[in-house]
Structure 1
Amino acid sequence: MERSGQSTRSPLGDEAPGLRRDPPGRSACGPGTSGHLGRAGCASYIAGRPGGPVYRLSIAMMTILVTSACEIPPRFVQESGEIDGFLARRAYRSACVGLTASDESLREYTAEKLAEYPHIKAATDCVCEALYDADAGTFDAAVATGLAGSHRDDLASCLAPALDDERIEGDDRADLVRVLGGMDAKGAYDALASLVRSDPLPSVRAMAAGAVRPSPAAIPLLIEALQLDDEAQVRAAAATALADRKDDAVIEAITTAAASDPDGGVRGAALRAAVSLKLSQTDDMVCRAMLEDPDERVRLAAVQSWKGTKRKRALDCLDRRMKAEEESGTVRAALLETLGASPSDRAALMLCDNIGIWVRRYVHGKVAYEIEGADIVRAQNNRDWERSYACVAAAIRQGGYSCYGRNYLGHWMRDLGGKASTPLCPGMRRN
């Protein structure tokens, strides 16, 4: 009878073919010897036997394969928690069902989560299929939105062909550009770059200009669009996209557009971009635009660019803007907000000292609260309430106000604990 452990017979009783009987006391990879397998053979033997790394890896792969083969996806998914549960159990095909949900937010969430598994083919395939249906000529904006910030070129390449689909047009095409541009993938930028120059729709060209902003290779295209595109919205989008790009060609294009583009929206966008570049000439550009540009969009951009400033040069220009008449209520409101955000005591005093001028100039015809950018006392009070009583009292002493101006200042004085008349003006009702 053979000793236990030395038999080379199969479970059926036959000699196992190809196996070599080890002499008593020796094994194929016994201690102190390389065995008849040799050193390389021993390493393979140890790795592949139960508990070895190759064995464990093969078991893991088999588990995934068996799980996938036995997985029966549900007909529908209703909650994001279900997606998390499927992914925790590696039930990727079940998680993919979330991409067909009627709830857009659930489709977006599902795409975001599945994109985190680039090594799982089933996950990649179902996201790719959900992004764009070439047969139907449709794309799923919710699924694409779920990929915002994704670096996955493979998924970008699934959506990019939709740009060539003539059935996707108008607002849908602009939306396609938006969601594709939301992906932080080179493939997405490359697909969008040519649209800046060639797409017939201005809205698409403008959207594409904003979408390719992170791509350095797009700078020449953006400069060309800023200088040559016939549509103002495209030029403005290009100017915005060039912000923070401190390059000689960019600086020249931006400063030229800020000074001379025929459209105020483009000049305003270019001015904001110039401010972001922190050029030596920026202060002069901003002050000149604030005081002289005929388009309120440019003056607004100039005023907002100095929000919260405490620099003397900026405050000097803002003070000149406060004392000069401003017909735009939007710009007036921005002026009050900009000075109110400044930590400078001088900015607080500017709000106080200009109450009289402001109320005489803008508060007439109706109550101040109905006039955009007219409520200067509120701005002063929010910034420096301890001085409010003195500021309003000084303004009342100046006189020269309309009935509505006297009513406005009188109510503020009463609210601050003082006494003042509050005349009843046309259209007002006595309480």
Structure 2
Amino acid sequence: MGDGQLKKDVTGLTALTVVVGTVIGAGIFFKPTAVYGAAGAPGLGLLAWFIGGLITIAGGLTVAEIGTIYPETGGMMIYLEKVYGRWLGFLVGWAQMIVYYPANIGALAIIFATQVSSLFELSEKSIVSIAIITAISVMLLNFMGTKYSGRIQTAATILKLVPIIVIIIAGLLYPGGGVVRLLPFSSVDHPVATGLGSALMATLFAYDGWINVGTLAGEMKNPGKILPKVIIGGLSIVMAVYLMINVAYLFVLDSSQLAGTDTPAALVASKLFAGLGGKLITSGILISVFGGMNGYAISGIRIPYVLATQKMLPFSGWFSKVSKRTNVPVNGGLFILSISVIMILTGQFNQLTDLIIFVIWIFITLTFIAVMILRKTKPDIHRPYRVPLYPVIPLIAIIGGFYIILNTVIVQPQNALLGTLLTLSGIPIYLYTKNKNN
């Protein structure tokens, strides 16, 4: 391997499939449990899916502006560095490197292994081993090169839509289903404010992944034109799909049944399609989860590379190596894979996902604010794209972000503390590398 520049191999189609393929991963198939468990009623649960989509689209419309101003490999890390300073750019990269990407890959690997174990009636003891093998396999596929991993992502994105479309159509036509299952709106046992907040946290894991396409901007041939389209178009598709499939779920099962199972989509599939049909749908769900892992791997392995090229990591020379044969930063992928394996050993899917959302939304919210700061400090900078309805859209995104962060601090203080400590653990690393470089 040698030091080098990443080539502009990422097309608009690959970028779109990274958005859709990464966002539609495991969340839509497994998070209804947490959503309707927190909401306590179908109406409030559906509202959480809708608001989560609105916040995400408002966020996508906002971030697309700063993404086209600074279309460089690294995404959010570059945005925050340009606006707030190098220290914050490093800190978001650090958080992505040790928490966000490893936890996403680890959580999805656990879900993948759980579904495999259930499908083939294997022992629960096999779940951890299957999850580790799956995570390793995904990373090895990415080490083969961006073109190969991009093709895998495109294929997985297309194939994962099959079980979703089938469930939507069959669910809406399910005998006995109807709007009655979409009511009541709320439950006396679940306060609306905190219930909606916890349900929203769960939906945002299902919507998560859209901002990762920014890490590929430096490898796009025309990011100013491509990036806004793939973010906005991809998220609009995802929101429509999520709302339709949740209505289909509720036509088959009531919200208490969805809240009471760890595999809600598989349970719905078993009701809709007995025997082999249910297993085929479950296999489609596995493809979707695998595609989600691949999407996170495509983006994640570039974060240590970018930090290393700026000499902001110990052993930067090692992290900045790019494979001469495949032009992929393999060493960064090995590091993220190692942390993923450690997280897989915990076996805690929901804790990992809640931790991910809290940590990443701190930085995402700061990115929304950065767009407004740039409008004041650099009004004349070239903007290939401007967020529409400014400042309304950015303010919606910012308010949504603060709500998510504060709700986690109140409802899940342990996760908030753990996420904060892991993120701040990067400060000594930053100071060490800064002094060393000086």
Range of TM-score over shorter length: under 0.3
Identify the structure with bigger relative contact order (alpha carbons < 8 Å, sequence gap 6+). Answer: 2
Greater Rg by CA? 1
